[in-house]
A and B are shown apart, each in its own frame.
Chain A
Amino acid sequence: MADPIMQRELLSVFRTRRMFLFQCGLICIFAGLVIVRWPSDQHVALSGTRSQDVFRLFAYGLLTTQLLLLPVFPATNIVGEKNRGTLALLLNTPLGPWRIYMGKLLAVLGIAGIILVLSLPAAAACYALGGLSLTGEFPRAYGILALTALECAALGLCVSSFSNSLDEAVRWTYGLLLFVSVLSLGPHQFFQGSEGTLADLGAWLRCLSPYAAMMSILGSGDVAGQGLHSSDSVAWRFTVNSLIVAAGAALATVARLNHRIFDRSRPQGNISDDQRLAIRMLRRLMFVVDPQRRGRGIGWLVNPVMIKEFRCRRFGRLHWLLRLVAACAILSLALTYATTRGTLDWGVETIGGILVLMQVALLVLITPSLSAGLISGERESGGWTLLTMTPLSVYRILLGKLMSVVLTLALVMCATLPGYVVMVYIEPGLRFQVQRVVICLAATAGFAMLLSAAAGSLFRRTAPATATAYAALLSVCAVPLLIWMGRNAPFGHDTVETALSINPIAAALSVIRTPGFQEYNLLPANWWFLGISSFVSLLVLIAQTRRISRPL
């Protein structure tokens, strides 16, 4: 191994026991994906459709596994080195920024390569079923996986080079990849079949997603294609897009790999109260709630931990929350307004589906970043010792922390309610459905919060806590959807319904009668699952918090 950086990166990762367990886990997951779809009856499928079904699920599963597991490696790479002080040593060597970057990129690609190599035995089993070509689906699917790994690695390293903490880097990388791989599919789903700039933009945006490319290669059509067939070469477009994204991210990262990466000015702590009256008035007008005003102190009725949590978050200040709420409210009203004008013939159900998707995406994106670090963040910064040295009980600390998340999520959800109100006004028959959707969303928010907090409390550091919380939540949301994607293949209606009953997104979509989900009756099973899981997560959280608060 010629490159010293790559050698160091790979050695440091692969000689840990955790990595060995990680690899064993991967083999089990890949084997499981094949076994789940392996035909168990006595019939022979001469057309090869069965093996294609098995391979399809396997490929989507492999892609999802890669998207869930790989980003944490590049995301924590540069920022971790920067905070440990080893990046300064590295920049002080004769190795140039490109060589450092390539070493790190190749190391991450090496890990991705290991993931793909570990999947080969399972892929070979699919091939053994017959009906698959070594020059067709196999190389194309693995090509998409390789490009996805490159995109993940480049984006992760780029985010890492701009971040100041591991937690921040992990959060932004997962958020960015969620947008690139899933949310980018959204506009096309609703504009397909129509003409115009929005439709073109949606079609272009869709080609950023590896899922769209994989579906195109495996012959699954478009995401929720609604019977429409796209003649565009999505895989080629994805190839070009991913290479452009990777190249752009590489350039941005290399530009950061110099002494300026350590520049971080200390905020001087300017306060509006000390400024002239005109400036104070202007700031009041611009911010509504001026973040630079001196506070009055925490009121005696309020849980101080809750206020502390809001103050600690970069976006926890009231002016940021107001902006978030305003953006949500405007977006939900705009969507509903578009329907009432009749310019977009989507129907109320489709609009409801968009609203639900937006809300759930927002919840899945925001909640782990809010609640995964509630305990681990304190332990990492040394704040937990200080908190336990105050007369506040463990339960009061926990309540304050959870309330800070609950209030934020409630604000976000309430902001999207005007859209539902307009929807019910247009179609009064939807009132009951909307009520159930709101309950679904509230249950999802509670579940996501408690699951993330419980998963995060098991760690001492915020970065693995956040990554685990995202992985756990995305698994609950993504794995049943993988099974749903194969709903017309060997998976029968009952199997898909059982799988979807643990999925909060599917439950809300089925209630609002979104196409593709209306045939499944997921309530109240989904509410039972969310309720029990939330309760168990709460118990884990309380037990873990009590454990770390006890004298040793």
Chain B
Amino acid sequence: MNTNGPVVILEHLTKRYGTFTALDDVSLTLNSGQIFGLIGPNGAGKTTTIKILVGLVRATLGKASIAGADCVRDARRIKRLVGYMPDQFGSFDNMRVWEYLDFFGAAFGIPRRLRVKRIAETMETTGTTYMKDRFVESLSHGMQQRVGVARTLLHDPLVLILDEPANGLDPQARIEMRNLLLTLAQMGKTLIVTSHILPDLSRICDLVGILTHGRLRAFGTVDQISRLVSQRRTFEAHLTGAEQVAPAAAIIRQAIEPASEVTEATDEEVVRFRAAISETDLGNLLVQLVRAGIPVTQFHEVQTDLEEAYMSFASGSGAASAPALAAQGAAHG
């Protein structure tokens, strides 16, 4: 198995249920050791993408492969290459954590002696050693998520696919899960993670994909995606009095393109505007404000984060330039 080149490849993946298109021409490439965050609103096609990758759903068109194994034709090989944690834990009654892991180890055909060692290792990695004698159904949600990750690691898969691993976790457990995912990436695993908790993803992911209505609207690093959204950057001009807000806003409106948004926050004594503007024009605008006798205490750009980028794409405003970035992301992969 070649793990130096691309590990996960999706080519023009399309899934249709009757007339409904759940996934529309999605292509991306991931390398070994990368953490890829797949984000999107409910029903965007995240779980469908994941299920195609693990062989639970068959694509209508296109091709998905992991380490050269086709997700449809080489289903048995895919099972050994992938560790999959669905959004539902999949608890078995009356089983202790150790027995639970022992069963999955045996199901993957790991010999008993090696299995005992692997269980100890994965429990150590996921911090679940202390709960090995507890019954799985009695564990808290956070504990179950960690046992779930331990289960996916048992057969030492190349790729880990985790569907909403941070869902329903408290802040402490979220931080622990984040650190765990970073540890796994350091071990050389390729991780595909879906989540709604965007700050977490932006901290750990090498690559992010934004999926809405079945289409990959953006794919790349968090910085790349933020930059794409920031072609229309947001700025703030802080003033010294509320009476200066209206004249300042009027000058800004004249200086920037007509369709741009300008917001007057009188209470805060701030004018916010969102525009595609060059650095030179920005300098000229500041000069105009000062010449008009408007005292400006701060004049700065508001940084775009993943959440804003996500909202931009989810609302459709960032969609126009997405294919270009997606192609850029694929090249990056």
- Whether A300 pairs with B111 at a CB distance below 8 angstroms is yes
Which residues of the partner chain A approach B108 to less than 8 Å between Cβ atoms? Answer: 390-391
Q: Are B109 and A391 in contact (CB under 8 A)?
A: yes
**Which of A90-98, A196-204, A306-314 binds B?**
A306-314
Q: Are A551 and B55 in contact (CB under 8 A)?
A: yes
Interface string of B17-50 (1 = CB under 8 A from A): 0000000000000000000000000000000000
Complex Cα spacing A127 to B23, Å: 64
Residues of B within 8 A of A392 (CB): 107
Contact of A551 among B56, B80, B96, B109 (CB under 8 A): B56
**Docked-complex contact A305 and B107, CB < 8 angstroms:** yes
Q: Tell me whether A314 and B107 are in contact (CB under 8 A).
A: no
Partner of B56, one of A295, A298, A307, A385: A385
* Inter-subunit contact A381/B107 (CB<8 Å): no
Chain A to chain B: the 3 pairs with minimum beta-carbon distance, closest first? A382-B88, A304-B106, A266-B138
Supposing A551-B55, A551-B56 touch, asked if A298 and B112 sit within 8 A by C-beta, the answer is yes
Shortest CB-to-CB span from A272 to chain B, Å, is: 10
Q: What residue of chain B has the Cβ atom nearest to residue A292's Cβ? A: B133
Say whether B104 contacts A385, CB under 8 Å.
no
Q: B99 touches which one: A295, A300, A388, A391 (CB < 8 A)?
A: A295
Whether A389 touches B138, Cβ cut-off 8 Å, given contacts A269-B96, A297-B116, A308-B103, is no
Contact A389 to B92, CB < 8 A, known contacts A269-B134, A304-B106, A551-B72: no
Contact A269 B106 (CB under 8 A): no
Answer yes or no: A278 CB below 8 A from chain B CBs. Answer: no
Q: Are B91 and A383 in contact (CB-based, < 8 A)?
A: yes
Interface of A is mostly: loop
Q: Mark A95-115, 1 if CB is under 8 A from B, else 0.
A: 000000000000000000000
A46 on the B face (CB < 8 A): no
Across the interface, A311 reaches (CB within 8 A) one of B79, B84, B89, B94, namely B94
* Interfacial chain A residues near B235, Cβ < 8 Å: none
Q: Cβ of B6 < 8 Å from any Cβ of A?
A: no
Chain A residues positioned under 8 Å from B88 (CB to CB):
382, 385
15 sample A-B contacts, Cβ–Cβ < 8 Å, listed by A number: A267-B134, A267-B138, A268-B134, A269-B135, A294-B98, A297-B116, A300-B111, A311-B94, A312-B94, A385-B88, A385-B90, A386-B90, A391-B107, A551-B58, A552-B57
Asked whether, in the complex, the Cβ of A382 is within 8 Å of the Cβ of B138, the reply is: no
Chain B minimum-CB-distance residue to A317: B94
Would you call A388 and B95 a contact (CB within 8 A)?
no
Chain B 117-148 near chain A by CB (<8 Å), digits 1 or 0: 00000000000000101110010000000000
| Residue B54 CB within 8 A of the other chain | yes
Given contacts A298-B112, A387-B107, contact A311 B91 (CB under 8 A): no
Inter-chain contact count A-B, CB under 8 Å? 107
A429 within 8 A of B: no
Q: Is the CB of A383 within 8 A of B92?
A: yes
B115 is an interface residue with CB less than 8 A from chain A: yes
CA distance A271 to B79 in the complex (A): 33
Contact of B79 among A296, A299, A300, A391 (CB under 8 A): A391
- Is residue B76 contacting chain A, with contact meaning CB distance below 8 A? yes
| Complex Cα spacing A24 to B89, Å | 40
Asked whether A312 and B95 contact (CB < 8 A) given A382-B89, A551-B57, the answer is: yes
Nearest chain B residue, comparing its CB with the CB of A381: B91
Contact: B92 with A308, CB < 8 Å?
Answer: yes
Cα-based distance from A389 to B51 in the complex (angstroms): 11
A382 and B90 form a contact (CB under 8 A) = yes
The complex places the Cα of A552 from the Cα of B18 at a distance, in Å, of 12
**How long is the Cα–Cα vector from A353 to B135 in the complex, in angstroms?**
43
Question: How near does chain A come to B113, taking the closest CB pair, in angstroms?
Answer: 9
Q: Say whether B103 contacts A307, CB under 8 Å.
A: yes
How many angstroms from the CA of A250 to the CA of B91 in the assembled complex?
34
Min distance, Cβ B225 to any Cβ of chain A, angstroms: 31
Q: Is the CB of A297 within 8 A of B56?
A: no
Whether A386 contacts B104 by the Cβ 8 Å rule is yes
Give complex CA distance A157, B88 in Å: 30
**CB pair B138 A269 closer than 8 Å:** yes
Q: Which A residues are CB-close (under 8 A) to B295?
A: none
Known A267-B138, A295-B99; contact A390-B107, beta-carbon cutoff 8 A: yes
A552 & B56 in contact (Cβ 8 Å cutoff): yes
Cβ-defined contact, A389 with B133, below 8 A: no
Q: Is the CB of B112 within 8 A of A390?
A: no
Interface status of B243 (Cβ within 8 A of chain A): no
Apart from A295-B99, A389-B84, A551-B56: 14 A-B pairs, beta carbons within 8 A: A266-B135, A267-B134, A267-B135, A268-B134, A297-B106, A304-B103, A307-B103, A308-B103, A387-B107, A388-B56, A389-B54, A389-B56, A391-B108, A391-B109
Chain A nearest CB from B226 CB (Å) reads: 35
Given A312-B93, A385-B56, A552-B58: A297 touches B79 (CB 8 Å cut-off): no
| Residue B68, interface by CB 8 Å | no
Bound-state CA distance A298–B105 (Å) is 9
Question: With A308-B95, A311-B95 in contact, do A298 and B103 touch (Cβ < 8 Å)?
Answer: yes
User: Which residue, B54, B90, B109, B151, has most C-beta atoms of chain A within 10 A?
Assistant: B90
- Please give me the residue from chain A that is nearest to B76 by CB atom: A391
Quote the shortest CB–CB distance from A24 to chain B (angstroms).
30
Residues in B with CB closer than 8 Å to A311 are 92, 94-95, 99, 103
A344 to B109 CA separation, bound complex (whole angstroms): 57
Choose among A267, A305, A317, A381 the residue that contacts B90 (Cβ–Cβ < 8 A): A381
Q: A388 — which chain B residues lie within 8 A by C-beta?
A: 56
Identity of the chain B residue whose Cβ is nearest the Cβ of A393 in the assembled complex: B76
Beta-carbon contact of B92 and A385 below 8 Å? no
A314 touches B133 (CB 8 A): no
Q: Tell which of B84, B91, B133 touches A294, judged by Cβ atoms closer than 8 Å.
A: B133
List the B side residues contacting A268 at CB < 8 Å.
134
Contact A299 B112 (CB under 8 A): yes
Q: Which residues of B contact A385 (CB under 8 A)?
A: 56, 86, 88, 90
Across the interface, do A389 and B95 meet the contact criterion of CB distance under 8 Å?
Answer: no
Q: Is residue B164 contacting chain A, with contact meaning CB distance below 8 A?
A: no
Taking a contact as CB atoms under 8 Å apart, the answer to whether A390 and B57 are in contact is: no
Contact B79 A389 (CB under 8 A): yes
Query: In the bound complex, how far is the Cα of B98 from the Cα of A428, in angstroms?
Result: 52
* Assembly CA distance A187 to B72 (angstroms): 61
Q: Judge whether B138 and A383 touch: CB under 8 Å.
A: no
Q: Report chain B residues within 8 Å CB of A552.
A: 51, 56-58
Check A390–B79 contact: CB distance below 8 A.
Answer: yes
Q: Does the CB pair B104–A297 fall under 8 Å?
A: no
Least CB separation from A274: chain B residue:
B133
Query: Are B92 and A381 touching (Cβ within 8 A)?
Result: yes
